[in-house]
């Protein structure tokens, strides 16, 4: 989480965490409180994938296809980092340089009303699209299409940056993913141990069920 000494962003016209105060009360009962933001959260990243797949149908020029895909990837990166993450899930990550020239990464999370439908769409888009680009990477690598491999690597880098930043915000800047997984296992073990101790001795005890984390 950001500390009190973190400077405000220069373009922070609405302070982070106060977006709910600017929201129209009539949208509270709607299924999607930010329909346009939700649309563009999926549009740019979906369009970049569609253009990559079907660009050969419209143009034989690699440069033209490269430029259009990178433009949509850039628009997606900016939109997800600066708009959709902040409004749809209440998360934000950014960087600033202090007076001594040292770079600092800030991962913020706010306590606010989050629309469950928008939250689900945000995380699905954030996770699924890098998987598609990972598949394209393997296809380009084994197909020896090295010029397309460069484009796919750019897409993976931009998608992975947002994915890592928001996962970091979600779990907390002071706790890495290994610590989160370890804490989850400890909690499950403790919960099962308490259940065993509090149940009557004559009742057969179920086996301890620990959910695998996949992290060593």
Q: In the numeric block, which tokens belong to residue 38?
A: 């939700």
Residue with tokens 């770079």: 103
Long-range CB pairs of 175-181 (<8 Å, 24+ gap) are: 177/215, 178/215, 181/213, 181/215
What local confidence, expressed as pLDDT, does residue 10 receive?
Answer: 52
Cβ–Cβ contacts within 10 Å for residue 104, how many? 14
- Which helix (H) or strand (E) segment holds residue 206: the answer is none
pLDDT of residue 28: 52
Q: What is the pLDDT of residue 213?
A: 40
Determine the pLDDT at residue 21: 54
* Weakly modelled stretches of the chain, pLDDT under 70: 1-30, 112, 173-216
Q: Enter the pTM of the model.
A: 0.67
Give the sign of the dihedral formed by CA 37, CA 81, CA 163, CA 47: positive
Query: For residue 211, what pLDDT is reported?
Result: 46
Q: Residue 154 has what pLDDT?
A: 96
Separation between Cα atoms, residue 59 and residue 181, nearest integer Å: 47
Q: How far is residue 127 from each of residues 101, 123, 176, measured CA to CA in Å?
A: 34, 6, 18
Q: Quick one: pLDDT at residue 115?
A: 87
- Tokens at residue 154, please? 């750019």
- Residue spans of the domains in the chain: they are 32-186
* pLDDT score, position 23: 56
Residue with tokens 């984390």: 213
Describe the crossing of helices 35-58 and 116-142 by its angle, rounded to 10 degrees: 20
Q: Would you give the distance in Å from CA 101 to the centre of its chain?
A: 28
* 5 three-state secondary structure: coil
Q: Do strands 103-109 and 91-97 pair parallel, antiparallel, or not at all (unpaired)?
A: antiparallel
Q: Where are the alpha helices (DSSP H) in 80-176?
A: 85-88, 116-142, 146-171
């Amino acid at each position: 989480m950001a500390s009190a000494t973190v400077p405000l962003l220069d373009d922070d016209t609405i302070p982070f965490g106060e977006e709910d105060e600017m929201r129209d009360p009539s949208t509270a009962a709607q299924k999607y409180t930010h329909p346009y933001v939700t649309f563009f959260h999926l549009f740019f990243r979906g369009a970049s994938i569609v253009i990559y797949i079907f660009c050969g149908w419209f143009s034989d020029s690699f440069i033209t296809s490269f430029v259009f895909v990178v433009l949509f990837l850039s628009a997606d990166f900016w939109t997800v980092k600066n708009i959709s993450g902040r409004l749809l899930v209440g998360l934000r990550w950014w960087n600033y340089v202090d007076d001594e020239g040292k770079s600092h990464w800030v991962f913020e999370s706010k306590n606010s009303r989050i629309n469950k439908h928008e939250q689900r769409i945000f995380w699905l888009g954030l996770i699924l699209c890098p998987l598609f680009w990972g598949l394209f990477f393997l296809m380009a690598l084994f197909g020896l299409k090295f010029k397309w491999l460069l484009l796919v690597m750019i897409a993976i880098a931009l998608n992975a940056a947002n994915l890592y930043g928001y996962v970091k915000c979600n779990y907390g800047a002071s706790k890495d993913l290994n610590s989160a997984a370890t804490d989850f296992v400890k909690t499950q073990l403790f919960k099962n141990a308490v259940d065993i101790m509090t149940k009557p001795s004559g009742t057969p005890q179920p086996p301890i069920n620990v959910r695998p984390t996949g992290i060593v």
